[in-house]
Structure 1
Amino acid sequence: MQPAKHLYETTLPLANGAGTLPAVGFGTLIRDPVAARQAIKVALETGFRHLDCAELYRNEDVVGQAMREAFDAGTVRREDLFVTTKLWNNNHRPERVGPALEASLKRLQLDYVDGYLVHTPYAFRPGDEQYPTDKDGQPAYDREVTLVETWRAMERLVDEGKCRFIGLSDIRLERLKEIVAVARIMPAVVQVECHPYLPEWELLEFCQAHGIVLLAFAPLGHGMEPRITDDPVIKAIAQRLDRTPAQVALAWAVQRGSALLTTSTNPAHIRENFAISALPEDAMQAMRSGIETTFRLNAVVDTGVPGFVPKAG
């Protein structure tokens, strides 16, 4: 990691010589297309250079248009922007992986993405339905493909130059170890729910030992209860340092060696979430020893069904 006084300048090295990843990224899970396009515009103007997308979000076309406008306006160059998208569960069979990325590239108006992640380690029944269900209304899983087979198809995409690095998302440590043990191309990024109420220390240590970037989504808990920004330890640190609780929680994430994604449609919050700076060591220690709440907000690691993504009506 290359730490910086202004933590938004921090970059993390990627496995397989794929360069470095800006530690502070912007997530594009914004349902309203007008709001999404404007938020991405503000994020890029603010200085975000890492955009996180997914087929599942159903707005890659909006992200693509926003990026194209930023390129044309000179706000950012394509080569300075890190764009990640994800393979959804109904495309895990090897013959579906390449076409799924090609479809994402077309929507994003890009020739390549920097990162391509397996959205969850759960394979759903192949087809056009994003959420196929069985006769009981439960997720219809595909038992005829393994995560290793999907990973082999992901590796071929790197060989073909369609993405610079590959990774995994919404995965527990045990499943990650299975892939690390057999990978020809190592996962460069693992994206999971991670915040002061779910610090994932064991996963973080494993990732760091293997040169994998842990990328935290929901670093502020999506404003859900229990609210991370209402935690007394975090609020006390924020008051002492004249920062917002959100800035304290985000700084903690970067300083411990992870990358993060924030999402907002509020321009002031977008700028606030970017403008984070280093915490003193006593604040880092207070957060590690003084925060007692433990809570997972999203059950996707157990079901393959993300809790934060609204289903199409």
Structure 2
Amino acid sequence: MIEADNLRYTKLPLNNGSGAMPALGFGTLIPDPVATKNATKAALESGFRALDTAERYQTEKEVGEAMEEVFKTGKIRREEVFVATKLWNTNHRPELVKPAFEASLKKLQLDYLDLYLIHTPYAFQPGDEPDPRDANGNVIYDREVKLLDTWRALEELVNEGKCKAIGLSDVGLESVQEIFAAATIKPAVVHLESHPYLPEWELLDYCRKNGIVLQAFAPLGHNSEPNVLADPVVTAIAQRVGKTPAQVVLAWAIQRGTALLTTTKTPSRLAENFDVSTLPEDAMREINGIQTRTRFNSVVQTGVPGFIPRGK
């Protein structure tokens, strides 16, 4: 059985000199508002020091309330928690970025953000409808704004001191390269689906070379088929090292140099997800050698978050 160590406290430095991001983070895409607030408080109390939310999740208010209550106890200070949220697709036009950012900041009850991400590289028709569709049910994209235009508006937020770092979410390598080449303030973080069945090695290699943190959502898969946690390689390692399959996969993600987000409403699962320890090198090699390739969320292809339907 592997011994407990400091892997769970790993921090990854940001390329703009604004500090470091905890590798192990908590995601707040939880449909129920009360559950969101309770889970966020529990995550902070369990040891998590990175929180992720988004305008689109509609959880910023509850995350803000949870943080405020925890900070009031004096046990955790604002400066100890790395907070990220995201700009939604309907606010890509440069003049809409700052109002959207400030609305998020207000809901979160914060004076500044540690990280602000463009949620997807796809601009949607501006307006109050977060998922604008035409009469045929097709997404109405905004063709008048380019990703770089939106990025320039995010750079202004950093220049004004409201935001420490900015990044991209749900993007492919080509978009990351395009923005990195043209940006005055380089992307500090790229956030996207990644797990042993979708390791994104090429993108991770590019990020490593350019000092960008790759942050994985759905690091355990989506509890869908094929099931990452039921993979025979993962289960065999878990048995061998005396950890759960989830702990093995989370440790793999941190050890290969990525940050990650886990989401759960269950206190025991929260504690399990935080209790990760360093895997032996042979275990890392075995997981790296898994050949299954599956994407569970189609957001990177359309800008619309959602699971990809799979037949039995």
| Distance in structure 2 (CA, Å) of the matches to 1:52 and 1:294 | 26
Question: Does residue 297 of structure 2 align to residue 298 of structure 1?
Answer: yes
Equivalent pairs counted in the alignment come to: 304
**What is the aligned partner in structure 1 of residue 13 from structure 2?**
13
Query: Does residue 1:278 correspond to 2:278, yes or no?
Result: yes
Maintained 8 Å contact 1:44/1:75: no
Q: Does residue 263 of structure 2 align to residue 225 of structure 1?
A: no
In the TM superposition, what is the alpha-carbon distance from 1:135 to its structure 2 partner?
A: 2.5
Q: Determine what percentage of the aligned residue pairs are the same residue.
A: 63
Question: What does residue range 59-74 of structure 1 map to in structure 2 within 5 Å?
Answer: 59-74=59-74
Tell me the residue number matched to 1:250: 250
Does residue 148 in structure 1 map to residue 161 in structure 2? no
What does the per-residue CA deviation read over 1:2-61, in whole Å, with 9 as the maximum and x for residues that have no partner? xx9321110000011110000000001111111111111111011100000100001110
Equivalent residue number for residue 131 of structure 2? 131
Deviations 1:34-93 (A, max 9, x none): 111111111101110000010000111000000000000123100111000000000000
Is residue 189 of structure 1 aligned with residue 175 of structure 2?
no
Alignment of 1:90-109 (within 5 A): 90-109=90-109
Give the TM-score, by structure 2 length. 0.96
Partner of 2:56: 56
Partner secondary structure for residue 137 of structure 1: coil
Return the letter of the residue paired with 1:164.
Answer: K
Unaligned 5+ runs, structure 1: 309-313
Distance in 2 separating the partners of 1:185 and 1:161:
13
8 A Cα contact 1:61 1:107, kept in partner? yes
- 8 Å CA contact 1:6, 1:275 repeated in 2: no
Question: SS state of the match for residue 16, structure 1?
Answer: coil
Give the letter for the 1:39 counterpart: A
Q: Secondary structure of the equivalent of 2:103? A: helix
1:196-235 counterparts in 2 under 5 A? Answer: 196-235=196-235
For 1:230, the aligned partner's letter is A
Report the 3-state secondary structure (helix = DSSP H, G, I; strand = E; otherwise coil) of the residue aligned with 2:114. Answer: strand
- CA distance in 1 between counterparts of 2:216 and 2:59 reads 21
Distance in structure 1 (CA, Å) of the matches to 2:79 and 2:66: 16
Q: Secondary structure at the match of 2:56?
A: helix
1:293 CA displacement: 1.2
Q: Which residue of 2 aligns with 1:236?
A: 236
Counterpart for residue 37 of structure 1? 37
Give the secondary structure class of the aligned counterpart of 2:164. strand
TM-score, length basis structure 1: 0.96
Supply the RMSD in Å over aligned alpha carbons: 0.9
Aligned-partner residue type, residue 85 of structure 2: T
SS in 1 for 2:137: coil
Q: What SS does the corresponding residue of 1:273 show, helix, strand or coil?
A: helix
Q: What does residue 310 of structure 2 align with? A: none
> AA paired with 1:21?
M
Q: Which residue type is aligned with residue 295 of structure 1? A: T
In structure 2, stretches of 5+ residues that fail to align are: 308-312
Q: How many angstroms does 1:162 deviate by? A: 1.2
- Is contact 1:299–1:306 with CA below 8 Å preserved after alignment? yes
- 1:95-142 Cα offsets, whole Å, 9 max, x none, are 000000000011111111110000000000011110001222111000
Secondary structure in 2 matching 1:68: helix
Distance in 2 (CA, whole Å) between partners of 1:11 and 1:61 is: 27
Q: Which runs of 4+ in 1 moved over 4 A?
A: none
1:85 corresponds in structure 2 to 85
Which digits, 9 at most, give the CA deviation of each residue in 1:198-218, with x for residues without a partner? 000000000010000000000
Distance in structure 2 (CA, Å) of the matches to 1:6 and 1:217:
22
Aligned to 2:72, what secondary structure does the other structure show?
helix
| Equivalent position of 1:177 in the other structure | 177
